[in-house]
Amino acid sequence: MWFVVELPVVDGLAIAGQLRGHGCGTKVVVLSALDKPAVVRAALSNSVQAFLPKGVSIDKLVETVRRVHDGETVIGAELISAALSGELNPLTSREREVLTLLAGGETAKEVSRELHIAVGTVSNTVTRILQKLRARNKVDAIRIAKENGWI
């Protein structure tokens, strides 16, 4: 069965997970331009049988479909390595909370009110986040965290 990973209303990987949850035995091959660690981890957690980059050759695609049909799981070592390396989240739960709220457009003052902490604490938390992620600014930190599936 084939799905687009990023559909406008529902995520293709979520559909794959739902199919597996219903025990219908459908085998899922993901062909995606999105090979970021978070996407690969989501595919693995939804029990897909194969994950291939979108630019894969037709021969490799046909070989993969045959292997999946024969019961194999086909996910490139480089993708698994990237998924595992991106899995180690350096942020604390509080740092993730703060960054998630900032990513949603809230100001430091709004974050402080929502989390019942001082504005200075929000500022200090952002500084720690920037250091941990080696980010240039908040926008860069949000991008890094989203790409790695940390927020």
What is 12-85's CATH number, 3.40.50.2300, 3.40.50.10140, 2.60.40.3500, 3.40.960.10? 3.40.50.2300
DSSP3 helix / strand / coil % (the chain, rounded to 5): 55, 10, 35
Q: Give the tens place of pLDDT for each residue, 92-116.
A: 999 999 999 999 999 999 999 999 9
Q: What is the pTM of this model?
A: 0.50
Q: What topology does CATH give the domain 93-147?
A: Arc Repressor Mutant, subunit A (1.10.10)
Structure tokens at 34: 């999105």
Paired residues of 75 in beta bridges: 51
The Cα diameter of the chain in Å comes to 58
Q: Give the tens place of pLDDT for each residue, 40-68.
A: 777 777 778 888 888 889 999 999 999 99
Q: State the pLDDT at residue 62.
A: 94
Coil, helix or strand at residue 40: helix
Report residue 9's pLDDT band, with 50, 70 and 90 as the boundaries. very low
Q: Give the tens place of pLDDT for each residue, 31-40.
A: 877 767 777 7
User: What are the domain boundaries of the chain?
Assistant: 12-85, 93-147
Q: State the pLDDT at residue 1.
A: 55
Cα angle 63, 52, 46; round to 5: 110
For the segment 59-84, the average pLDDT, to the nearest whole number, is 84
Structure tokens at 132: 């941990």
Going by C-beta distance under 8 Å and a sequence separation of 6 or more, which residues neighbour residue 67? 50, 74
Q: State the pLDDT at residue 10.
A: 52
